[in-house]
Structure 1
């Protein structure tokens, strides 16, 4: 049988060859393994909505994601990250999953909470499960680490962040899509159309399921921005549920729900990043 090739498969094959050639050069290999994974971009966005209370004008929300401790990201980098985040003075800190690459193989999980405890956020620190947090028999290992660090772990839950004038917003978190038990209706169904709501969902592509609910902003990670990108082509490989929305800001559905996909900090499977710089994201709320 004659095998046919689409333009996309041809480009993907060509990109793979080009990447292989790049990474086999001394500079390409060094940059992708040792330089870009240790870079850090601080991405800033202003989120505007009529649902944001006046008392939340100027509130700063910091998102970080996908650390994958154990493969190429170490505790020294984590300590340096804490300093960087605290210097930004966020009011709320959100971690969107994948703390350890393989939790049951990570040698020192007890050393993680004292480092994460250093994060300061007067209105709260929240976290959700990623697929790697459940994987590697890590469900309880991750739960203990993140809660010992002072984070509220949201598993199909909605929490209220309030101001002294009794105005408030909602922050909710779904269990991981791939290895958990997410409850869309039971969680997102609690949100109210006139109350500003943030949904933390590790895998970005399920935004199509979140958009029909009154979610103003979905925050995700998981895709690492493809981790390796090719100029004029984009991400070479993206994970399941991280293919349609690989990085950055989108509007989804008839409601035009905002979706932001953070590129994360660490690496998984292979210890390389190319044109997918690690990031933390700082959102500033503004009422319209």
Structure 2
């Protein structure tokens, strides 16, 4: 009797392990349209491919094909942790080259990007043409003069983030000096949402939490960092800190890779294709304070 029970337990453990490994190796592109109140009409339909927390994984060609099947992207945004300790630089380089097959690449650093020589990583990314957003922003401009400010901060977890620098007008006095442009912020750790200090940001894309990575039914995630507890995964509508009363939307991805062990449970690997829509074209969806959208 005990032998039979032991065998069943072993088979159950093997099945659970196989399931968790499959969740960790999943390659999918989750497409979503976002109706944004202040997005200029001329940017309606802008398509952003977002990937975060690659860690040790190889970005496969089939992810490029999956993105194409979902409609393609105008820009690739990488939310940090392009690697972790002892990942060969050649693998990270190959991953970047694969992402460039989708669209031009913009990225921020995460905490694990500093595990090994960060200077070596920086040089490689520059050689490959990645536009790093290290406490700075770039301005996307349409022929009609409409602009979107794309900003990024260095890793918030290690307190390298300088949001005021990322949002500061450029010394050149170009289009990003225009009052209150629509602003998209990329930050590795969603804890940046607790330190906005009145920063006028419309949308934040982040990762870091891995969605808890291993989430036990009834018990919740094994990972219990402050970011996981407060902003584990999905959509959050942050309290308005702007005079116009418009709230900041925060999205937290489960990420593409894993840390410590190549397993996931109830927090499958994911990448995203966000199609930005001007609220003048599409009615926005209301998201309750601090709630997560399935």
- Which TM bucket (shorter chain)? 0.7 to 0.9
How much does 1:93 deviate? 1.1
| 1:123-171 C-alpha deviation (Å, 9 max, x unpaired) | x42100000001x233123223333332200100011112232322011
Residues 111, 228 of structure 1: alpha-carbon distance in 2 compared, 3 angstrom cutoff: closer
Structure 1 gaps of 5+ residues are: 1-20
Q: Which residue of the partner structure matches residue 286 of structure 1?
A: 277
In structure 2, distance between residues paired with 1:143 and 1:219: 22
CA contact (8 A) 2:133 2:152 kept: yes
Q: Which residue of the partner structure matches residue 191 of structure 2?
A: 205
Q: After the TM superposition, which of the residue ranges 203-212 and 233-242 deviates more from structure 2? A: 233-242
Q: Which residue of the partner structure matches residue 43 of structure 2?
A: 56
CA contact (8 A) 1:223 1:238 kept: no
Q: Which residue of the partner structure matches residue 126 of structure 2?
A: 147
Q: After the TM superposition, which of the residue ranges 50-59 and 183-192 deviates more from structure 2? A: 183-192
- TM-score, scaled to structure 2: 0.79
Matched, 1:245 2:225: no
CA contact (8 A) 1:36 1:277 kept: yes
1:40 to 5, 12, 27: 27
Q: After the TM superposition, which of the residue ranges 223-232 and 202-211 deviates more from structure 2? A: 202-211
Q: Which residue of the partner structure matches residue 87 of structure 2?
A: 106
In structure 1, distance between residues paired with 2:143 and 2:101: 19
| 1:83-116 C-alpha deviation (Å, 9 max, x unpaired) | 33344410111000101121xx223x13433442
Matched, 1:167 2:167: no
Q: Which residue of the partner structure matches residue 75 of structure 2?
A: 92
- TM-score, scaled to structure 1: 0.80
Q: Which residue of the partner structure matches residue 4 of structure 2?
A: none
How much does 1:47 deviate? 2.1
How much does 1:184 deviate? 2.1
Q: Which residue of the partner structure matches residue 31 of structure 1?
A: 19
| 1:34-78 C-alpha deviation (Å, 9 max, x unpaired) | 311111342233222232111111111111010102xxx2x3x43
Structure 2 gaps of 5+ residues are: 1-8, 170-175, 242-246, 280-294
Residues 116, 79 of structure 1: alpha-carbon distance in 2 compared, 3 angstrom cutoff: farther
RMSD: 2.5
Q: Which residue of the partner structure matches residue 128 of structure 1?
A: 108
How many residues in Structure 1 have an aligned counterpart in Structure 2?
Answer: 257
Q: Which residue of the partner structure matches residue 80 of structure 1?
A: 62
In structure 2, distance between residues paired with 1:237 and 1:24: 23
For 1:215, what is the secondary structure of its paired residue?
coil
Residues 90, 280 of structure 1: alpha-carbon distance in 2 compared, 3 angstrom cutoff: same
Q: Which residue of the partner structure matches residue 14 of structure 1?
A: none
